[in-house]
Chain A
């Protein structure tokens, strides 16, 4: 993407207002913000938006096609798909945010340690990260859930653990870049101690790639949750999850295609929005990366 007037990173950071405005002025950023905003609104205001109780079954209205009462139709138990999608957004966002927070928190810590204190500590941390990284995401997450037991909390923990290496690597690489800059040498020559340097100078300077990584990881986490739920080891019924809705829909594909279409569409919109937002964020925060 080629953009004129590349915004200077330093100007983007001090005030969040200018960051949001820059995102908004970019068509892709705007699309991402609208998409993400919509999903977040659905998640936050789910009880007011949903038209029916998510768990409420209605044997008279099984497999109803989309109509004025059931906007997205009903499923094999006669539950309103629209309401389940809305609550499913809540599940997706909560799982995504919590899992990414776990991953980002530990990833930041490990990355900082590995990047700042070189030598054996770094080798050990990175070796563990490489081992985790070598497993396919879903496989490892499924394994962790199988060990810990099926529950929403364990799903979040599993997805979090699986995402730690990406953050560790991002943070470590940025820390190494920042560490060798003149202003860190200068901070040391002033007499600042390590903690001061790490938290006052290194951390703010690595926030840009970190934020971008978090946004992108969010979409990955939501997708992993959907996949795990689809396979039956994620969110357990009766909690609504887009993945498990999709899984239920498999058996009734010909009879009630709307059961599959709507969860799928929402998964796509959510993932796409987060990815687009992540890309736009990167363009704004790190103009040097622009191609």
Chain B
């Protein structure tokens, strides 16, 4: 396999009453090896459920109704959606790890950091002795720049700060040297100075471990700082995908443009912050045409009638918008 992870035609649906409602619609993603890949979009666009689907742990009643997720595991290429539970557990935490938005609640409050780190280790390496586990845990804490690792090991989660906890979460996620790290808004709950430290740390660890990172965020600043390739999600679809430089300098989709304009910078003298009017239409209420048409300032009749396809407007730059396909045609 050329890529580490290949998502093909992924559709995720939920049950509303007895009706199946689509939440994610035909998403294709390729995550190359040793790459940091950004997924950006507003809340409710399908970013997190994509990550959960990669772990095959969608909460009931969500389910994958179509598609495949192929992963280049140590024991060969597998389709994560078709694995049995045992094989799945062998992949989770060992080959694909995940870190979550809320570090304060992501560790079990009644166990020490030590016990939770050993748990992640011993589950995948049953033969490991306690001193070996301790050594590995200390090494990981050291690598995520935790001051006084020995003391931290015996602490309970409530005795540590959010930044420290997120470092520990990263340490636990990387303790088995996974090939892929899914980071679901890892810095959203942290304050800005800590955010920068965590992002830098994740970048460094990626370089050291050759781990691919999928960074899910709604913050384009985070993307700019960490990612090489970016996919913009809107209403369960990818609307634009490109290399990070290409995306920022030659933004093609009006939605991405809106997101970029909504980023505030210190130097600018704007009085009112920019917002995209309206909200993301929830699953089941998508329009037949372009799903962004209701909120788009450049919307035409054509946009309301038919959905544009995701087309390559320049090498490696994909966009789902009528405006661009016309420009390309001309």
Interface string of A4-29 (1 = CB under 8 A from B): 00001110011000000000000000
**A182, B106: Cβ atoms closer than 8 Å:** yes
Q: How far is the CB of A112 from chain B (nearest CB, A)?
A: 17
Number of A-B pairs, beta carbon distance below 8 Å:
74
User: How far is B55's CA from A22's CA once the two chains are assembled, in angstroms?
Assistant: 43
- Bound-complex Cα distance A185 to B98 (A): 10
Chain B residues near A200 (CB, 8 Å)? 119
Q: What residues of B have a CB within 8 angstroms of the CB of A186 in the complex?
A: 98, 100, 106-107, 169, 172
A226 to B65, CA, bound (A): 58
Chain B hits for A190, CB < 8 A: 92-93, 97, 119-120, 123, 172
B-facing residues in A229-255 (Cβ within 8 Å):
none
Q: Smallest CB–CB gap between B318 and chain A, Å?
A: 30
Contacts A10-B158, A182-B100, A182-B102 given; does A189 touch B92 at CB 8 Å = yes
- Tally chain A residues at the interface, Cβ within 8 Å: 25
Q: Are A187 and B108 in contact (CB under 8 A)?
A: yes
Of the candidate stretches B27-35, B83-91, B273-281, B294-302, the one touching chain A is B83-91
Closest to A180 in B: B59
Give the chain A neighbours of B59 by CB distance below 8 A: 180
Chain A: which residue is nearest B91 at the CB level? A191
The minimal Cβ–Cβ distance linking B165 to chain A, given in whole angstroms, is 11
Q: Does B109 contact A (CB under 8 A)?
A: yes
Interface residue B164 (Cβ < 8 Å from any Cβ of A): no
Query: Measured between alpha carbons, how far is A10 from B158 in the docked complex, in Å?
Result: 8
Distance to closest chain B CB from A288 (angstroms)? 13
Chain B proximity of A151: nearest CB distance (Å): 41
B158 to nearest A CB, angstroms?
Answer: 5
Contact of B92 with A185 in the complex, beta carbons under 8 Å: no
Q: How far is the CB of A101 from chain B (nearest CB, A)?
A: 24
Q: Give chain A residues whose Cβ lies under 8 Å from the Cβ of B156.
A: 10, 14
B85 touches A193 (CB 8 A): yes
Q: Mark B51-65, 1 if CB is under 8 A from A, else 0.
A: 000010101100000
Give the residues from 169 to 199 in chain A that come closer than 8 angstroms, CB to CB, to chain B: 180-183, 185-193, 196
Contact A189 B97 (CB under 8 A): yes
**Contact of A204 with B by CB under 8 A:** yes
Q: Which of B290-324 contact A (CB under 8 A)?
A: none
Task: Determine the distance from Cα of A189 to Cα of B92 in the docked complex, in whole angstroms.
Answer: 6
The answer, among B57, B92, B107, B120, for a CB contact under 8 Å with A183, is: B107
Query: By the criterion CB–CB under 8 Å, are B98 and A181 in contact?
Result: no
Contact: A192 with B105, CB < 8 Å? no
Contact A205 B100 (CB under 8 A): no
Residues of chain A within 8 A (CB-CB) of B173 are 189
Q: Does B110 count as interface, using CB distance less than 8 angstroms?
A: yes
Whether A188 contacts B110 in the complex (CB less than 8 A), given A181-B105, A196-B123, comes out as: no
Consensus secondary structure, chain A interface: helix
Q: Does B124 touch A at the CB level, under 8 Å? A: yes
Q: Mask for A98-112, Cβ within 8 A of B = 1, else 0?
A: 000000000000000
- Whether B102 and A189, one on each chain, are in contact in the complex, defined by CB atoms closer than 8 angstroms, is no
B110 touches A204 (CB 8 A): yes
The yes or no answer to A201 lying at the interface (CB within 8 A) is yes
B256 interface residue, CB < 8 Å from A? no
Enumerate chain A residues within 8 angstroms of B68, measured Cβ to Cβ.
Answer: none
Interface residues of A in 89-125 (CB under 8 A from B): 118-119
**Are A185 and B93 touching (Cβ within 8 A)?**
no
Q: How many angstroms between the C-alpha atoms of A287 and B107 in the bound complex?
A: 20
Bound form: Cα–Cα A13–B110 in Å: 8
Instruction: Given A189-B57, A196-B123, decide whether A183 and B93 contact each other with a Cβ distance below 8 A.
Output: no
3 tightest A-B contacts by CB?
A191-B93, A191-B92, A190-B93
Given A183-B105, A183-B108, 14 further pairs, Cβ under 8 A: A180-B59, A181-B105, A182-B105, A185-B100, A187-B108, A187-B119, A189-B92, A190-B172, A191-B90, A191-B123, A192-B119, A200-B119, A204-B110, A205-B108
Residue pairs across A and B with Cβ atoms less than 8 A apart, 28 shown, are A10-B109, A119-B60, A182-B100, A182-B102, A183-B105, A183-B106, A183-B108, A185-B106, A186-B106, A187-B108, A187-B119, A188-B55, A189-B55, A189-B98, A189-B173, A190-B97, A190-B120, A191-B89, A191-B90, A191-B91, A191-B94, A191-B124, A192-B93, A192-B119, A193-B85, A193-B89, A200-B119, A205-B109
